[in-house]
Structure 1
Amino acid sequence: MRHDLIPSLHDVPADAAPSMVRSMIPATPAARRTVLKGMAVAVATAALVPFDWVISRRAALAVGPTSEWTRTNCRDAYSGGYAEEPSNWGGGPKACFGGWRMGGYPCNSNKRHFEGFRGYHDEGYTSHRVTTCSNRNAWRWTVSGKVYRCSDASTRTVWNDGESYTDLTISVCKL
């Protein structure tokens, strides 16, 4: 094989038929480079956008406050004190105070109140952690030698019939 018989990139063979694709691209080399650059940017964007979605979702799931009152209770934050109340949402001990609903159901894998959406039977819950106990979101509680984290959130509950209610909810998460 002779190298001098290989046509150059810019020389058109005498018997070449025009390409339909080539006829749509302007003849100047700068225009071809612009099209190729655009294609490269599109491919890179298509490859990288899913990574951005994953990273931003992880960040969104961790946006709520995570500061914690580490004493055995939050009594100091309430001048009149308080008494523990029974769990009424997914079970759990009588360990926390306040909240329209409280219990083990709203605990996430980090042992804090979940953030985002969850559905259960005919109810949908959208929760966002809030600070209540001396500007903290959670506090520790000891019941019969077992330690729990009580974490606060504002939760909007929507039922299948469209009725909704928003109030403070508490997760009772065993540590």
Structure 2
Amino acid sequence: MHLRNGWRVLCVVLGLGLVVLCACGSESSCGPGAGVVSRVVDGDTLVLQSGERVRYLLVDTPESTGGKRECFGAEARDFNRSLVEGRLVRLEYGEACTDRYGRLLAYVTVDGREVNTLLAENGYACVLYVSPAGKSRRVEFEALESSARRAGRGLWGQCSVAPCER
């Protein structure tokens, strides 16, 4: 009888441990599943408190740093900052883990809203597809950009030439 109770306790402890692991933003083979944003670099790049640099998949916002300041770049950076800086974000990876600069490539979600999608649908970004990263969602993002263009949202209504059309 004593051995049976020991197995029950062990099963309960292991089960609770599994629940805790699943709820904590588990690691993927690419990198962390979640993290707190310490700094927003620009409209499509952030830095986690752990030091990892994250580049948003499938979007390219106008430049807002260094000597290259493009139309709507500051607005894209500020929009990104308002959503994620100092916040806990969830990261989901696509077909490639990193770009040529060593940044993690991810879809970034905060409070149940995916930032990549918000950037595209509100006209803060153009679609940037670099095979194979983002292949499974490329068509979805192209449709979001097309809708923003037609409606003149964001950079599509403010810039004489969209930075991604150069």
TM-score (normalizing by structure 1): 0.31
Look at both structures and tell me which one has the larger radius of gyration over its CA atoms: 1
Which has a greater percent of helix?
A: 2
TM-score when normalising by structure 2: 0.33
